[in-house]
A and B are shown apart, each in its own frame.
Chain A
Amino acid sequence: MTHHAEPAEQIDLEPLRAVLASRFRPRDSQEAYELIVGACQEAQRLYGWVPPEATQVIADHLGVTVNRIYGLLTFYADFRTEPPGRHFLWLCHGAACYVMGSSRLIELLRERYGLEDHGVSPDQELTLHVFNGCLGVCDLAPVIQVDHHTYWGRLTPDRLTAAIDALKRGDQVEETDGQAG
């Protein structure tokens, strides 16, 4: 993972405080512990990663230690403790996608875009998470979920290159192939 020396932008913690106040109200310490992961997921939804400031807010709100939170953040693969690039690629590396060629896509992302799993590309444009489980859209395998809503399906290295270049230019990426089967 790359280390960012430049000071991060000021993070607005109010939205996180609001979510915590409305939906994370533990009645006892047991429930407070149960809610840590969920609170971190909310933070990541809001900021794209879990910044240290957010961790402190969650710790204060739930009455747990920051250490405990980092113990979880570093254990679970979904969390990021570094800021992501502008676009988020969630590459499915489930068995269906493997069989249909996701390894070639991972190789391409590494060689052409300098992207490693959980890493940010040198131009700060792309973040890659290789998902070891299954995204459950196996009919589109191999598939990448982009920025949490779009899917690029039935990818080949060529199609992926074209799609990423279009994404970086801000163009519409050609729709996935839905006429399969």
Chain B
Amino acid sequence: MARLADRQDFDRYAAAVHERWERLWAGDRWVISVGISGCSIGKGALETYRHLELMLAQEGVPATLRQVGCAGWCFAEPFVEVRAPGAPPVVYRNVTTDRVPELVHALKRGEVKAEWALGVRAEESFGGIHPLSQHPFLARQRRLLFADAGVIDPESIDDYIARGGYRAFLKALFEMTPEEVVAELKASNLRGRGGAGFPAGIKWESGRRTQAWPKYVVVNSHEGEPNVFKDRRLLETNPHLVLEGLLIGCYALETPHGYNYIGGEHALAVQRFQEAVRQAYELGLLGDNILGTRFRCHVRVRTGGGAYICGEGSALMYAIMGQRGQPRTKPPRSVEEGLWKRPTVLNNTETFASVPVILRHGGAWYASLGTEQSTGTKLVTIQGPVKRVGVAEIEMGMTLRELIFEVFGGMREGYQFKGVQTGGVSAGPLREDQLDVPIDFDSMTPLGGMLGSGGFVVFDESVCAVDFARYLTAFNRYESCSKCNPCRLGNPALVEILDRIRNGYGRLQDLDLIREASKYIIELSLCGLGQVAPMPLLGMMKAFPEEFDAHIREKRCPANVCPISEAALLAPIGDD
């Protein structure tokens, strides 16, 4: 493949791949797509793919077998999409190898196998299969970043370009000045998707204002929280979208240095993003003199070693620089002094992926989505015993109740909703009566919750609030980088107190002791993660005070989880 020399060259190339894409879907061969992503591989998608390959050859079905990315419906993995000649594409759910022969035989006979279908990609029902867009999981979603998820092959730049990819970058490069790009981003009011919600446009603008050289643009794809998996799914399913956002970021900052820091455990995300970078170099969308202009851009991929703290901005930069990933005091902010002590603009993966969408449709259009203070869409993930586990992209402002009970289908059979943990390990849970809160950056905070990066953990009556609080606090203890004392010593102290309560030796003043220790951790910790480390515990105490009380006063664990010992039952309740 030759490097594209200029804009006309790109347009010719785009027209050619678009035509090939159209031909694929209009041809008289079957088109069979298998979703291959981290979670579908876990459920056997690779075996399904190989089995299909074998079966189609044996049965003599003239088919194009292709891989696509994840479409967010973890509950339906592994999924297979089949387009028979002349028919609309039908998505089948949970196609494990034991279902493959029956599926292929049925399809060959001209049956549609409606009972295994998730939906059909068409406006109207087909053979008793309802349109995918009416499926309860998708009906309330607004997909911008995930628009092509499960449709394109993530390892093919041609698929991405055929669907309009890199158009936003070309628009920026040929029709806009860097200032105009930043102005568009400011107009969109896009707020950082990593959790803090700082307006991205303002960050980019202050990055432009700094005068040191070189500057760096960094994507934070570390995603080390125990409760969210959206960024890796985005990288696995549409890596070019993130890369295009990073390219636009480098153009806006007028710098050739782009980085993506990806958590090392997200192996497939790393591999697919690296492949995307390689393809972009090959086509001349990365490198020197991109499309005949003076703009140059080089992207480096760096991987993490499994330390939650490296999701914190300054720690992440030290990690890239080959040091232990420990945060430092601010100011100077990283936008003034970041990577290699140079101005660095760092944003979350999802933030960068939103940038091409914003340039394509305009900042004002994007700002019209969602709520006034939290514009646009948000990727959210759900965990726990709900019917439809997965990644959803919703417009900001949907209530938590709608999200859990409509999009994700509510609780599984036999499970009773108790609460939902929000904001990763940085905030507290919400109870059933608080679920009408809208999902945006600000509404959950007064209730003790937080949007964070969009991970929600639903838990049921079998989970003990004290034990869950201990789990979340123990996470923060384990992941403390040990640089500052309040976090390094405070979190183990909290775990120790919680263990005392769990074992039935809780004292009446322990809850006050927790509050006091937490106060010091919050006020004195060095980095943002330390400052919120006690929040899940305090949130649990606020949401489920009766459970803490039962453990201490009655030496009883209502959920029957905690190891309250026989000896503790005999001992008097301590008060000093």
Binding site for B on A (CB under 8 A): 30, 32-38, 40-41, 64, 68, 71-72, 75-79, 93-96, 98-100, 103, 131-141, 143, 145, 151, 153, 175-176, 178-181
Contacts and interface: CB of A to CB of B under 8 A. Distances in A.
Given A37-B304, A95-B383, A99-B457, 14 more contacts: A36-B322, A64-B322, A68-B322, A75-B305, A75-B481, A95-B457, A95-B471, A132-B475, A134-B225, A134-B229, A139-B74, A151-B43, A175-B44, A179-B96
Nearest to A150: B42
Contact of A134 (B227, B471, B472): B227
B321 interface: yes
B64 to A, nearest CB: 25
B133 interface: no
B265 A135 contact: yes
Contacts of A33: 321-323
B77 A38 contact: no
Interface string B302-327: 11111110000000000111111100
Interface of B: 38-39, 42-44, 74-78, 94, 96, 223-229, 232-233, 263-266, 300, 302-308, 319-325, 340, 381-385, 387-390, 421, 455, 457-460, 463, 467-468, 471-472, 475, 478-479, 481
Contact of A93 (B226, B263, B308, B382): B226
A134, A136, A138, A151: which has the most chain B beta carbons within 10 Å? A136
B43 A136 contact: no
A132 B304 contact: no
Nearest to A181: B75
Contacts of A175: 44, 96
A134 B226 contact: yes
Given A76-B306, A76-B307, A100-B385, A136 B479 contact: no
B468 A132 contact: no
B306 A181 contact: no
Given A103-B471, A179-B96, A133 B263 contact: yes
A176 B96 CA distance: 10
A69 to B, nearest CB: 9
B42 A96 contact: no
Given A95-B226, A96-B383, A178-B77, A34 B43 contact: no
Nearest to A133: B224
Contacts of B475: 132
Given A140-B42, A151-B42, A176-B44, A132 B479 contact: yes
Given A94-B226, A96-B457, A77 B77 contact: no
Contact of A30 (B305, B340, B383, B384): B340
Contacts of A79: 305-306
B224, B305, B323: which has the most chain A beta carbons within 10 Å? B305
A96 B385 CA distance: 8
Contact of B383 (A35, A94, A131): A94
Contacts of B390: 139
A64 B323 CA distance: 12
A36, A38, A135, A181: which has the most chain B beta carbons within 10 Å? A181
B488 to A, nearest CB: 14
A139 B227 contact: no
B37 to A, nearest CB: 9
Contacts of A137: 38-39, 42-43, 74
Given A35-B322, A79-B305, A94-B227, A139 B457 contact: no
B421 A78 contact: no
Contacts of A151: 42-43
B501 to A, nearest CB: 16
Contacts of B76: 181
A138 B307 contact: no
A176 B322 contact: no
A95 B305 contact: no
A138 B303 contact: no
Nearest to B476: A132
B463 A136 contact: no
Given A75-B307, A76-B306, A94-B226, A132 B478 contact: yes
A38 B475 CA distance: 25
Contact of B232 (A75, A136, A143): A136
The 6 closest A-B pairs by CB, nearest first: A76-B305, A96-B383, A33-B322, A181-B75, A78-B306, A136-B229
Given A34-B322, A176-B42, A41 B383 contact: no
Contact of B320 (A34, A103, A133, A136): A34
Contacts of A78: 264-265, 305-306
Contacts of A178: 43-44, 77-78, 94, 96
B307 A77 contact: yes
B36 to A, nearest CB: 13
A11 to B, nearest CB: 21
A64 B325 CA distance: 18
B197 to A, nearest CB: 21
A139 B39 contact: yes
A95 B429 CA distance: 13
A153 B43 contact: yes
A32 B321 CA distance: 9
A40 to B, nearest CB: 8
B226 A133 contact: yes
B50 to A, nearest CB: 14
Contacts of A179: 94, 96
A135 B228 CA distance: 9
24 contacts: A41-B303, A41-B305, A72-B322, A75-B305, A75-B324, A76-B304, A78-B264, A95-B226, A95-B471, A96-B383, A98-B468, A99-B457, A132-B308, A133-B225, A133-B226, A133-B306, A137-B39, A137-B43, A138-B39, A139-B390, A140-B39, A151-B43, A176-B43, A176-B44
Given A37-B322, A99-B457, A138 B471 contact: no
B324 A71 contact: yes
Contact of B302 (A38, A96, A132, A138): A38
Contacts of B94: 178-181
A28 to B, nearest CB: 11
A96 B384 contact: yes
Contacts of B224: 133
B265 A133 contact: yes
Contacts of A68: 322
A79, A98, A141: which has the most chain B beta carbons within 10 Å? A98
Contacts of B228: 134
Nearest to A179: B94
A30 B384 CA distance: 43
Contacts of B77: 139, 178
A41 B270 CA distance: 13
B389 A139 contact: yes
